[in-house]
Structure 1
Amino acid sequence: MTHEHEVEIVSPVARSVVPSAKPPLESVLARISIEDRAALDRLLTETVEYLDHPSFARARTAKDLFGVTAEQAAQPWVNSADARPVAKGCGTNATLTNNQEQKLFLRMNYARYRMAKLFQAHAGKRLTGKAASELLFWQRQVIATRCEIVQANVPLVLAMAKRTRMGNVDYAELISEGNMALLRSVDKFDCGRGFKFSTYACRAILKSFSRVALKSNRYRGRFPTEFDPSLEKSRHAELLREQVEIDCVDELRGILRQNLADLNDVEVRVIQARFALGQAAQAGGDVEPAPKTLEQVGDMIGVTKERVRQIQNRALAKLRSKLQDDFLAA
């Protein structure tokens, strides 16, 4: 019968290492998958932060926490499928005991500790294939263990959001802020103080709710009304263009009414029928009829539509000449 290892309660020390190692040779990178090459490039630019613990210096810590020795973790591999995370803990829906929780946080920080030691050993040097493999191995353990902790504590966010009464904050935004606070809490939690992670995380989640409520109130103070997309676009240019069109039509009607362009009776009838000018005034109505086609106008005056087109073009030329003369005179 196996017993779960007891976790030593010691207050860890926060440490950070800025990587200065150089990427491996191209021949080494060629044996690594594209996904892992991208992960390695990202690791070389990110600071490694972890909470140190006295047990990390012991040779058997890797075996106790992950079930592998340091030598096994350093074995080179070619494909990411050959190096699945070996972090083992509770299921994603299980409630963690205090001892299980502390062990998960020790796993995550130990994996980061091993990454920091690799960067320190290769400071200013080029990473070897063995070092790159081990670095990616421990990075996968960090991700696996971190995900396990987050998934076990996601219900905290939902519970806190339901208990919090914030009518002016969208529920989805509240959940999003709570999840971000949970992720930050996982990275900063000190399991060596003897407290449950939920105690620390709940406080951080509530603070994030307060921040999003304050941000929402500040926004509503500046913009008290709801967002209206119709207010984002001004119709001034459109209204100005419509007014210009109305003025031009009125001017054309005046020219036709007074026959200032020297049009004959047939040309006047064709222009009025084709462009519906002056017909509303004659009918005494408010809505002008639709413009008539060449064929319809031809039936009115007893000619073919081609002849109507010729009459229309001759009348438009006279009107254009009159408008240009008025413009130059002005």
Structure 2
Amino acid sequence: MVTKERKAMMVQTTARPEQGRRKSPGVGMPRADVLARLSESDRELLRQWVESPTGYVADASFKRQGVEAELFGVKAEFPDEGVPRFVEATPIVKSEFRNGDLVTLTTAQEGVAFRRLNYARFRCHRILNRARGGRLTKSEAWRLIAWAHRALDARSLIVRLNMPLVLAMAKRTRLVNVDPNEMISEGNMALLRSVEKFDCSRGFKFSTYSCRAILKSFSRVAMRTSRYRQVFPTEFDPAVEQSDFLIRKREDVEEDCVDEIRRILLSNAAGLTDVERTVIEERFSLNEPREAEASRRRTKTLEQVGDIIGVTKERVRQIQNKALDKLKNALMDGYLAA
């Protein structure tokens, strides 16, 4: 048995509400001196509306006399001539929080919020339509910015108070192998799209419409994740996937060099003196490979080697450097000869 509210929701989701015009071609930005008096954010907002106006859900009441005061509680007047902002509208809710939680808008409050949003956009379009074929004047630019800010304020209120819907739907949904952060992000985007399309004149609550859209967005995330895992069944692990060819090659070269130095020391091909050979052997412990681990523990400092041969550690450093130069030359001669 399909309820009356369910039927209304199906109509809402299958039939797009009547949209206002999305473009007003031929409207130019105001003069440079007018733009110079605006803040950077206001200039950007004005440019967005001139280049790509946002659509609105039309309502027959928008053309009725007195609707502005009915929706906002005040007239659209500028309290400060230096700032393009209207007098602050009457708040829809006294406080957005109750006992630490966000309040839930009633159907009547939702209707006011959505009508404010779409009426403000309707007024923006009317200003652009009147200015078509020329530049916006200072008065038109300021009123366009002021109405755009009223639309943003209404939209922000609706989104803030309905954000818990995304978390509530996420908790109800049991999706395996889906990143929760990605799911929440997709749900937030679905909520924003729902705000743009919702028609409050149909008589049911926004949550009825938006929750359906949020759940659909979760399904899209699950399908996208499933397709990704079919292509990439396992996660990329750098430690497993990365080639160790260069590391092994470097280790082989190091081992070859150590073996060659051992051969040079054994045959004294570098012409080291007894003192130089003692310093090299004690400092670097170039023993057989099977004794490498023990030799690392027996490696001595400059001061310890100095105590053995009876000189200062600075003198040991000088002897060591001279011996290393001889070993380097002998090593290079061996490679060139090979």
* 2:307 aligned partner: 299
State whether residues 56 and 110 of structure 1, in contact with CA within 8 Å, keep that contact through their aligned partners in structure 2.
Answer: yes
Secondary structure in 1 matching 2:177: coil
Measured in 2, the distance between the counterparts of 1:184 and 1:250 equals 71
State whether residues 92 and 113 of structure 2, in contact with CA within 8 Å, keep that contact through their aligned partners in structure 1.
Answer: yes
How far is 1:300 from its partner? 1.5
* Equivalent residue in structure 2 for 1:65, among 52, 71, 88: 71
* 1:77 aligned partner: 81
Task: Indicate the larger mover: 288-297 or 56-65.
Answer: 288-297
Q: Evaluate the alpha carbon distance shift between residue 165 and residue 311 of structure 1 in structure 2; reply closer, same or farther with a 3 A threshold.
A: closer
* Equivalent residue in structure 2 for 1:118, among 98, 110, 127: 127
How far is 1:208 from its partner? 0.4
* 2:28 aligned partner: 22
Measured in 1, the distance between the counterparts of 2:130 and 2:190 equals 33
Secondary structure in 2 matching 1:247: helix
Code of the residue aligned with 1:177 in structure 2: it is E
How far is 1:45 from its partner? 3.2
Code of the residue aligned with 1:197 in structure 2: it is F
Q: How does 1:150-161 map to 2 (within 5 A)?
A: 150-161=159-170
Residue 322 of structure 2 is aligned to residue 314 of structure 1: yes
State whether residues 87 and 144 of structure 1, in contact with CA within 8 Å, keep that contact through their aligned partners in structure 2.
Answer: no
Measured in 1, the distance between the counterparts of 2:292 and 2:137 equals 93
State whether residues 87 and 145 of structure 1, in contact with CA within 8 Å, keep that contact through their aligned partners in structure 2.
Answer: no
Task: Indicate the larger mover: 144-153 or 197-206.
Answer: 144-153
Secondary structure in 1 matching 2:19: strand
Q: Evaluate the alpha carbon distance shift between residue 153 and residue 304 of structure 1 in structure 2; reply closer, same or farther with a 3 A threshold.
A: closer
State whether residues 79 and 86 of structure 2, in contact with CA within 8 Å, keep that contact through their aligned partners in structure 1.
Answer: no
How far is 1:162 from its partner? 1.6
* 1:175 aligned partner: 184
Q: How does 1:200-219 map to 2 (within 5 A)?
A: 200-219=209-228
* Equivalent residue in structure 2 for 1:263, among 269, 272, 286: 272
Where in structure 2 are there 5+ consecutive unaligned residues?
1-15, 97-101
- TM-score, length of structure 2 as denominator length: 0.81
Q: Evaluate the alpha carbon distance shift between residue 198 and residue 217 of structure 1 in structure 2; reply closer, same or farther with a 3 A threshold.
A: same
* Equivalent residue in structure 2 for 1:89, among 89, 92, 97: 92
Code of the residue aligned with 1:322 in structure 2: it is A
Secondary structure in 1 matching 2:20: strand
State whether residues 74 and 90 of structure 2, in contact with CA within 8 Å, keep that contact through their aligned partners in structure 1.
Answer: no
Q: How does 1:126-275 map to 2 (within 5 A)?
A: 126-226=135-235, 228=237, 230-231=239-240, 234-275=243-284
Where in structure 1 are there 5+ consecutive unaligned residues?
1-10
Measured in 2, the distance between the counterparts of 1:103 and 1:238 equals 68
Task: Indicate the larger mover: 299-308 or 51-60.
Answer: 299-308
How far is 1:85 from its partner? 4.3
Q: Evaluate the alpha carbon distance shift between residue 304 and residue 152 of structure 1 in structure 2; reply closer, same or farther with a 3 A threshold.
A: closer
Task: Indicate the larger mover: 284-293 or 311-320.
Answer: 284-293
Code of the residue aligned with 2:331 in structure 1: it is L
Q: Evaluate the alpha carbon distance shift between residue 305 and residue 55 of structure 1 in structure 2; reply closer, same or farther with a 3 A threshold.
A: closer
User: What's the CA shift string for 1:148-185, capped at 9, x where partnerless?
Assistant: 22233223222222211113223333222222111110
State whether residues 75 and 133 of structure 1, in contact with CA within 8 Å, keep that contact through their aligned partners in structure 2.
Answer: no
How far is 1:84 from its partner? 5.6
State whether residues 186 and 217 of structure 2, in contact with CA within 8 Å, keep that contact through their aligned partners in structure 1.
Answer: yes
State whether residues 74 and 87 of structure 2, in contact with CA within 8 Å, keep that contact through their aligned partners in structure 1.
Answer: no
- TM-score, length of structure 1 as denominator length: 0.82
Measured in 1, the distance between the counterparts of 2:64 and 2:48 equals 29
Identity %: 50
**May I ask how many residue pairs the two structures share in their alignment?**
316
Measured in 2, the distance between the counterparts of 1:260 and 1:60 equals 106
Code of the residue aligned with 2:272 in structure 1: it is L
